[in-house]
Structure formats: structure tokens, C-alpha cells
Structure 1
């Protein structure tokens, strides 16, 4: 499989290997293990599992997009064309992203067999370049009409270089979509970022309950849960970062102070309530201090334990962060 990062590194072109002989050809159009392994090789996080497949057929000149969904049903998409050809476009709509507002365009066709990985945080659209173009895509969340949003395909601020066509065919809904400047945009989970979150309490006179579900509060599938307890007040823990791992940390009892460092600035976060959590993305150096005697810190993680994912030396962490920023 050939893997190529685009000018927006999070958007990736995959070219599966086809095996041909006199009878025809065969290829693996998707292999989850290989897909995850290739993303990890280039330092990108593993997405949530795909839960829905979509298939559209379009005449030449039909333009669909630019579509996205708000949380908690934001969608990552793995797209390909099985018949005909299309020009596929992804637009970065993550407000705090260094490539916010930039777009990537790739021609996908039955002939070149290319697939495009578009993670959550991007608006997506395409135009069919041939009649009877069949467009297939896998999504990391289900379609939700109430959370669907659109950005107009010809927004002048985006300056997307669509292929020349005498007359694009655009639905009334897509034609009346808003500009990026006026669009309602969700908050996305970026490398080198943290985010405090208030966890919804469900309770009555009997007591309280908090529910954490992937795709709702949790922006990743949980592969591992662990908890830290019985730590003495003068003991500090952590002192590492992760290359790919995503986490949510919650003190379900007591409190502790977390120091979170993205290589540019540092912030202190007190976790002192079971209704307060902090999302910790990959490439965040973390330390834990000032544990109370009754502290129980629970951590939900996107991957199983892997020592190879740890960055345990701070100088190495800074070097990796700088290298990624310059790439």
C-alpha cells in the first residue's frame, strides 16, 4: 500500500495494491489493521471504528458538498470511487488548526483506485467528472439530520480550484449553504491540545450517576481504562507524553493537580470533582501533583498499553513537537 500525506498532513491518500492476471484483478479495499498501522507510522491518531457505509451515483457535473456534522456525531470518512471519476475536496474547519480554511483536492477514479482519508474536523464535497460515477465512503459515525451542516461550495474565502465544468449541478440545499465565516463549527480534538469538560450528572434523591459513551462525551473508542489511587501527597507521577494516545482523565474521588504542556505553553488543571474531566490529546507532556489522600484518578484511553507510544524524556518531547510543527 502506498501512503501519501497531502499539504494538510491529516488528510491522507491511500493506494491499495492490486494483484492482476489474465482473469482480472484483486485488491483489499480496506483492512483495519493495515489502515491503523499506516496512520501510526506517519504519526497520526487512529480514528474511531467505521460504523456506516454510503454509496452514491452521480451524473457528470453533479457537485455534492461541502458537508459535515456537529458533535457528538462528527464523521471521519474514508472515500473512494468504484466507477467513473470524481474530484474530491476536504476543507479544514478546525478553528484552532494551523491549516484552518485550507482545502485539499484529489482526483479519485475507478482506474487509479485511490482512497482518501478525511478525519473528523473537515467539511467534505466532490464533483463527478463522468456520468454514472459511483462514490463510496465509510464513516466513523452515523448520519444525523439534526446535526448536519453545510458550507457553500464556491465560498470565495476558500478559493477551491474545482475542475472546469460548463454547468455544475448543485442541490438547492447545497446552493443556499453559508460561508465558512458564518458557519456553525464544532470544537475538534487536535494534537497538542487539552480541553476541560463538564460531565453531565444524572441524579435524584437517591444519588448521582455519570455516563460516558464513545461518540458522545468520549471522542474516541475506549481500549483501556486504568485508575491511580493510594498516592502519597508528596509523590508526583506522570512525566511523559504519548505519540498517538488520546485520554480522558477524571478524579472520581478526591483531587489532584495536572500540569499539561504542549511544548509551547503550560497550564495547571485541578481535577477536584467527579463531574469534571480533561481531554488530553497526543503530544501533551503531563505531570500529576498534589494528590489528596482519597484521590482516585480514572483514565480512559484510546489504545491498549504500548511502551513504544511513550515519550519519557522531555527533551525528546520538545524535539518531536518542533519537528511536527516544521513538517
Structure 2
């Protein structure tokens, strides 16, 4: 792969007076199947992160908040990309050296990987990377063909209550000098595979978002920046969770009516979802939600 195989991908952006929303799904905006999701935050000014190459891992990197530069190197040429909008992402093919630098205050870098973490896949020494780059044949282009995409299916509805939803303490890799990193990996951290991510930003004070339910979708909701409150409703009970740490997530099972409110200034709400967008999975009317619970109750 060469630098010319890197490209900026424009993500959907839905403008709303209550705050904006963008998303990325497997095999569409993300040109691979996500196996690992991680985010960098609290990076001190002047500190660089991620100076390495990965032999088999592809990446898509998004500036969820703030701005930073990504320097990509194929062993012959070097190029710098600036990310400063949450609706743009940089696709980096496997086998390229990359480093993230020039973090602005409160910047958050969201990264998707195509393989689970493998320590043997990393090249962390630049001289070793140059030797590797010379030893392999560079193949231009990348395969974005949609493949192995499961067809839509509906499992038996199982109703959950608000006390089935829990706060999940996520891995936090802390460094006093270089900032923090939190990782979510399919098959390990979550009881579902991440197939879509969407995030809310620019939410004005006093606004609420996300008043709906899902028939089958499971979610992990994270305050990657700032804070907000998530209120869950199972038709009988309500329960509220205050989220204000990027290393904690709220695991929400299917069949919950949920509302997001009390957004702090600059808050960014990230949601990792168990499936791609399906309009048929949404319940957007509370009366319809109550009827759904009655019809599927014991």
C-alpha cells in the first residue's frame, strides 16, 4: 500500500436544531468489518501518539472532538492529513506508518480497526518499518467490496427491564505524559459485535435527544466528551444514568425507551450499535412502545 491509498471519507451529517448527528457503518463509510474500536483523549499539548505501523490492520480515524494531524508514511513518501470535523474520517490501509500529533485542547480521536489487537502485528520502530516496506510489494488500491454482509433477520423478541442495563467499566490505558486510551473489542468487551457507530454533537443547552426505542438493537452509550444523562423506561419503571467519563459506557439492551438530556457544553455522545441502520427496528412513538411491550410481554 502507498500514501495514495489513504483517503478522506465524508460521513453523513444530519443537521438538527437539537444537535447534529453523524454515523459510520461497516462496509459503507467504513470500508471493512470493525473488530476493534478505541479512542484517545486527554492528550497533553505537544505530545504525539500512535507512532507505529500494523501489517494486517486497516483503520478509519475520526476527530470526534477538537482537531489533530495524522502523518502517514509508506517508506518512500510522507503526507499529513488534518482532521477537525466529526463528519470526516481518514482511511489508512494496512502496512503504513502513521502518527497522530498536534492535538488541540479536549480533542478525542476515534479509531476503528479491522482486526482484534495482535501485538505481533505492530511495527513500532521506524527503521524496522522502512525495512519491512522495502521487503513487500506495494499493491495500490483497496478492496471496499461489500462482502459477508448478513441478511436481515428477526430473532424472537425478549423483553428486558431497566435494571438489565448496566454501567460497563471499560479498559483505560493511562499515561501521565501521553494521554489516555480506551478500547472496545468485539467478542471480549461487549456482548455484541459493533456494526455501526453514531454520535451526537453540538447539542444546545436544555435540549434532549434520542427519544425512541429499538426492537432488537443493543447499544453501548459513552460520553467521550462532556456529560449528559440517559433515562431508560421499560414501560413500568424509569432509571437515569449520568455519564461523564470516556472510559465508562452504558450497556442498553433491546426494548428500552431511552432519552438523552442535560448535555454539558461541548458534550459528545457516542453510541456503539449491534447492527446497521434499519428503520423497521425503531419505535419512535411512546404509545407504540407501550403497545410493543404489551404484545411481547409474558
The TM-score bracket by the shorter chain reads 0.3 to 0.5
Structure with higher Rg: it is 1
Q: TM-score by structure 2 length?
A: 0.47
Which structure is higher in RCO with an 8 Å CA cutoff and minimum separation 6? 2
Q: TM-score by structure 1 length?
A: 0.43
